[in-house]
Amino acid sequence: MIARHCGISDPAVHYHFRSKSDIYDALLVEPEYDSPAPEGAADRQAIAMFMEQRFWWWARDAEFVRLLLREQLHGRPESISYLVRSEQQYRAELEQAARGTFGEGARTVADLGWYLLAGALWDVILAYGSDAADIIQQDYFQVRVRRLIDTALDAGERCQP
Amino acid sequence: MKAPSDDTHRPLAPNHRGRDETRARILRSALELFARDGFDDTTVKAIAARCGLTDAAIFYYFPSKRHLLDSLWHIPPGRNIRGLTPARLMTEDRLRELTDETLDFIADNHEVMRLMTSEALAGDKTASALQQESRAVWRRTIHAHFTAAFDEDIADSATDALHSLIHGFTMRALMEP
């Protein structure tokens, strides 16, 4: 099945991976984001763009997130620690990037940003099943994501002393 | 007519209360194991061991493991989300109340929630339908609250933000061991 999906032969898959669980472990490598976190004094727009880029990095792989979600709900330790590491990295990078513009509100931006965007992605995957990948491509979903990012940033602004 | 006799002397014909209690005990153990290990990875033998019965006894109550799962969906939750209806004007206090009620409900029913979510992800039709229904009911209620206080487009994005936030928070909590 996996071999058919990527258009190579069964033995070729076995040559690279001894078993199905080896393939799964290989998927759990640290994410290599194609866009770095903004450095120095990032303004609101740069932070919003960073949040969007991170969101789409995950959202374009809805099937992978779905697989992870199942493993995580079953409490599989590797999948949970993968989540914990990704979450910590996300929050730390976002808080760091937002510090200059939002001051004390940076923590709120990171907190809300994480829950709002992870929640939206998990929700679309759960609610639409195998159609999720198509829904995610729709314009209205992209507008929805931008609004959620604004919500997190607005809350961060209100938290400034 | 004979007066009802003491049931303990008639083990072959247990009364309804005894049957119902055993049935409930089996369902309870099944829920715990399904929620922890998933439906596919749970055996009837393990459920039997957990409630101190034989697998034959389980099959007496439930013809198959699938019947057990389907019966779980029909157990009413420990309590309903109180006070969601009727929709009132959304104020800061009301928002806090709705959020607290929702989170309390999820905490009280976290095993069913986790099971329903993971079975919906695995493609179980009943779990998916129930999940969709509760999502729709919840969103409709919150939306009605927001439209009582704001314009339609503000109500839309506020509903979406509150839903995403609570969903993200809840899912994350369900993953905690």
Contacts of A147 in chain B (CB under 8 A): 157, 160-161
In angstroms, the Cα distances linking A118 to A37, A134, A142, B161 are 18, 18, 14, 12
Structure tokens at A89: 């990295």
| Phi, psi (degrees; rounded to nearest 5) at A37 | -65, 145
Q: What angle do CA A160, A49, A57 make, to 5 degrees?
A: 125
Give the residue from B85, B110, B108, B130 showing the smallest Cα distance to B174: B110
pTM as predicted: 0.83
3-state secondary structure of B81: coil
The CA distance from A17 to the nearest CA of chain B, in Å, is 24
User: What is the C-alpha to C-alpha distance for residues B107 and B112, in angstroms, rounded to an integer?
Assistant: 10
pLDDT at B27: 92
Which range among A2-16, A43-57, B5-19 shows the weakest confidence by mean pLDDT?
B5-19
The CA distance from B19 to the nearest CA of chain A, in Å, is 31
Contacts of A120 in chain B (CB under 8 A): 160, 164, 167-168
Contacts of A129 in chain B (CB under 8 A): 120, 123, 128
Full pLDDT tens readout for chain B, 177 residues: 444 444 444 444 456 777 888 999 999 999 989 888 888 889 999 999 999 999 999 999 999 999 999 888 877 766 666 677 777 889 999 999 999 999 998 998 888 889 999 899 988 888 888 888 889 989 999 999 999 999 999 999 999 999 999 999 999 999 886
A109, A148 contact by CB (below 8 A): no
Q: Which helix (H) or strand (E) holds B121?
A: helix B110-121
**What's the sign of the alpha-carbon dihedral B130, B131, B137, B140?**
negative
Neighbours of B155 (CB within 10 A): 19
Contact B164 A120 (CB under 8 A): yes
Is the pLDDT at A45 greater than 90? The verdict is yes
Q: How far is CA B36 from the centre of its chain?
A: 14
Omega before B86 within 30 of 0, i.e. cis: yes
**Whether A74 contacts chain B with CB within 8 A:** yes
